[in-house]
Amino acid sequence: MRLTILGCYSATPRTLNNTTSQVLEINNHMFLIDCGEGTQVQLRKHKLKFNRIKYIFISHLHGDHFFGLVGLISTFRLLTREADLHIYGPKGIKEAITLQLKLSDSWTNYKLYFHELTSTKSELIFEDNKVEVHTIPLDHRIYTNGYLFKEKAGERKLNIDAVNEANIDVAYYRKLKQGFDVKNEDGVLIDNKTVTFPAENPKSYAFCSDTKYKEDIVPVIKNVSVLYHESTFLEKHAHYAEKTKHATAKQAATIAKLAHVKTLILGHYSTRYDDLSVFKNEAKTVFNKVKLARDGKVFNF
């Protein structure tokens, strides 16, 4: 997986601070997560190929996560896109986008599918043979979902020397990769584990922004490889977090610890803080493996 942070600040775009948007590359997919104003320029700036985006996931309809979407959709049209585009987001997203396309008489020449979300329970919203995407219901001022991206368990890998040695016909290779024991050309049953290597551990990524501290997301994101959790504030401003339904760095770290995630990435910072290292220090008092999102930063995992 490869995660590119296009923007990780809250509220409003500024000269040097972009609002929320990320690109997650996973098994040949390029998923776009949230789309604040200016996202299309950030995509260009980081030389990410627009055309590869086929699925967009919007957490909620606050402007700093959403106002760049209509522009991106329009730009796809101007670039004569033909591929379908699927958009997942809260109910209302279809009306907001289609009204603007109607007013500008600029209907897309590609197919645009809206998948509007209303459930407050985690649900599977996308699946192919390699990846699943689930919602993570969050608690913010308006209806909001995080998203959990999970690689499916892959196939076992052939130990080709051992396979040859065991005299197994090529017709059985598929079965071996799927973990079955098979008979060799002499009719002897071969233990799968003696001729294959284990599948790589499937990776997972949970995006949780925006939300107040919400412990009941823990079961949904349990053991993920990487958790991005918003930390709009520091503990000294916990009263602002409470009031605006955001989280502090320490609260994000507490969720990471409870969910036994491997790595926590902090983001969605209020621009009131000049020094981001304080977020990391605060989170580290609770959970050790903390990284800071920054606009343009790439995480490989």
Annotated binding-site residue? 84: no
Is residue 210 annotated as involved in ligand binding? yes
Site for a second copy in 35-64 (CB under 8 A): 37-38, 40-41, 44-45, 61-63
Least CB distance to a second copy at residue 196 (A): 48
Least distance to a second copy from the beta carbon of 154, Å? 37
Selected from 9, 55, 57, 67, the binder of a second copy by CB under 8 A is 67
Work out whether 171 is an interface residue with a second copy (CB under 8 A): no
With contacts defined by CB under 8 A, how many residues of the chain interact with a second copy? 35
Let me know: does 26 contact 131? Beta carbons within 8 Å. Answer: yes
User: CB-based burial of residue 60 (10 Å sphere; 0-12 exposed, 13-18 middle, 19+ buried)?
Assistant: buried
The answer to whether 64 is annotated as binding is yes
Reported residue count of the chain is 301
Yes or no: say if 73 and 56 are a contact pair by the CB < 8 Å rule. Answer: no
Q: List own/partner pairs for 193-200 with CB under 8 A and 24 or more apart.
A: 194/162, 194/166, 195/158, 195/159, 195/162, 195/163, 195/166, 195/168, 196/156, 196/157, 196/158, 196/159, 197/156, 197/157, 197/158, 197/159, 198/156, 198/157, 199/153, 199/154, 199/155, 199/156, 199/157, 200/154
CB of 195 to a second copy, least distance (A): 52
Q: Which of residues 81-110 bind a second copy (CB under 8 A)?
A: 90, 92-93, 95-96, 99-100, 103-106
139 is annotated as contributing to ligand binding: no
User: Does 70 participate in binding a second copy (rule CB under 8 A)?
Assistant: yes
Q: Say if residues 225 and 205 touch (Cβ distance below 8 Å).
A: yes
Is 140 a known ligand-binding residue? yes
Residue 64 annotated as catalytic: yes
Q: Which residues are catalytic?
A: 64
Q: Residue positions in the annotated binding site? A: 60, 62, 64-65, 140, 210, 268
The binding site for a second copy (CB under 8 A) comprises 11-15, 37-38, 40-41, 44-45, 61-63, 66-68, 70-71, 74-75, 78, 90, 92-93, 95-96, 99-100, 103-106, 141-142
